[in-house]
Amino acid sequence: MLNQRAPLRESTQTPRPSQGSTGAPTPIAMNHSFQPLAPHPQARIKWGYALAQVPDLPATWADAGDRTRLENTKPRRNDLLIAQVELIGRHTRLDFADLSKSRLLEHDLVGLAFSPRYATRQFEAIVPDSLDEVHFICAGGVCGQVVGVPSDMKLPTVVRPLGYLVDQVGQRVNLRDFALPSCSDSVNGIDVVLVVGASMDSGKTTAAYSLVNGLSRRGLQTAAAKITGTASAKDVNMLRDAGASRVLDFTNAGYASTSGLNQNELWSIAHTLMSQLAHDAPDAIILEIADGVTQRETMMLLDMFVQKGSLKGVLYTCNDALGVASGVSRLREYGLSVLAISGTVTSSPLSIREAEQETDLPVLSSEALRTPNVVQQIGF
């Protein structure tokens, strides 16, 4: 029975993901000791940012009452789970739906959503086949089963499932049930810019919020969205703080993450977010895509944006001069107009000079993107 599993002995070794005989990643094995405690009826449930779209979430374990069902069956992507923190690992905090943060402690009750994760410098995770081993995979309140961990990173925080959240008729609650609808509003007449990077941690979010700030300081009403990735309140906060009139992300479209989605699902997210933002008739919409130009979902979306012809252009971010040449070449092969280069490659004057030798495009630091006359020079 799920609730009767025996505590495992604590290990001084750090087990790592292994490769099965087929070469496919296999779930990690974690050895630890944990003495489960029955939650106090008034124990608070900490609901993650990924669930901000879901109304009437129970505030305490007593409120959850008959709204939870514990069964060791395969979770569906975006199903909601109430769990108890069992072992603190990589993630030590949870981002709330109101964008505040909370430290995680053992025995805390948390509300999470199942989803896979694809992050080359974080975790690779899947939706598991059962509730036997569930990990906390991002601070935005997403859970899954980790199958890949960078060599220099702690193993994931472990949670103990207490039950799926269910509705009045006993059906599992799923984020997809609360997705915003697409609007009839068109982006015609609105400058839509896609922020795309060479890889994870190439400076995309910094470039996106800097461009939003520069446009806002120029007097242009600017909206923004992150259309792929794994739920993160931090990115939304940064875009809002930069002056965006409205900010959305894929969680508003009913997804805790976008890893593994097909092209139609990805374009549905992009179209929903763009049409919602277009409803307010902003002068510009800035869209950030997670990960890098060679990542599966990114390539699918670039194809779709080219087919739909809805972009003013692309702001490209990368880490070094070599990334400038290869990335711009790849984007131009799609037929996309690249407006400028930014990202971590602009972290020093020397690095900027090296980058400028590899391209005919402006190479702009985050400070430059926040300057009204600079954004005017690149077409706004």
Domain ranges for the chain, please list them. Answer: 2-174, 191-377
With cut-offs at 50, 70 and 90, classify the pLDDT of residue 121.
confident
With cut-offs at 50, 70 and 90, classify the pLDDT of residue 122.
confident
Instruction: Record the tokens describing residue 359, joined without a space.
Output: 């391209």
| 280: pLDDT strictly greater than 60 | yes
Percent over 70 (pLDDT), the chain:
91
- Report the pLDDT value the prediction gives residue 297, as an integer from 0 to 100: 94
With cut-offs at 50, 70 and 90, classify the pLDDT of residue 194.
very high
| 22: pLDDT strictly greater than 50 | no
| 61: pLDDT strictly greater than 70 | yes
Give the global pTM. 0.88
**Stretch 93-112: mean pLDDT:** 92
With cut-offs at 50, 70 and 90, classify the pLDDT of residue 5.
very low
Instruction: Record the tokens describing residue 155, joined without a space.
Output: 């193993």
- Report the pLDDT value the prediction gives residue 97, as an integer from 0 to 100: 78
**Stretch 26-30: mean pLDDT:** 56
- Report the pLDDT value the prediction gives residue 120, as an integer from 0 to 100: 79
With cut-offs at 50, 70 and 90, classify the pLDDT of residue 25.
low
Query: Which residue, chain included where needed, has tokens 């899954």?
Result: 144
- Rounded CA-CA distance 301/267 in Å is 7
- Report the pLDDT value the prediction gives residue 32, as an integer from 0 to 100: 56
Instruction: Record the tokens describing residue 333, joined without a space.
Output: 């092969």
pLDDT greater at residue 222 or residue 2: 222
From the list 156, 200, 134, 138, the residue with the least C-alpha distance to 344 is 200
With cut-offs at 50, 70 and 90, classify the pLDDT of residue 228.
very high
Query: Which residue, chain included where needed, has tokens 């919409």?
Result: 285
- DSSP code, position 343: S
**Stretch 219-231: mean pLDDT:** 96
- Helix, strand or coil, per DSSP, at residue 142: strand
- Report the pLDDT value the prediction gives residue 18, as an integer from 0 to 100: 45
If one looks up domain 191-377 in CATH, what number appears?
A: 3.40.50.300
- Going from the C-alpha of 143 to that of each of 33, 91, 99, 114, 146, the distances in angstroms are 20, 11, 18, 5, 9
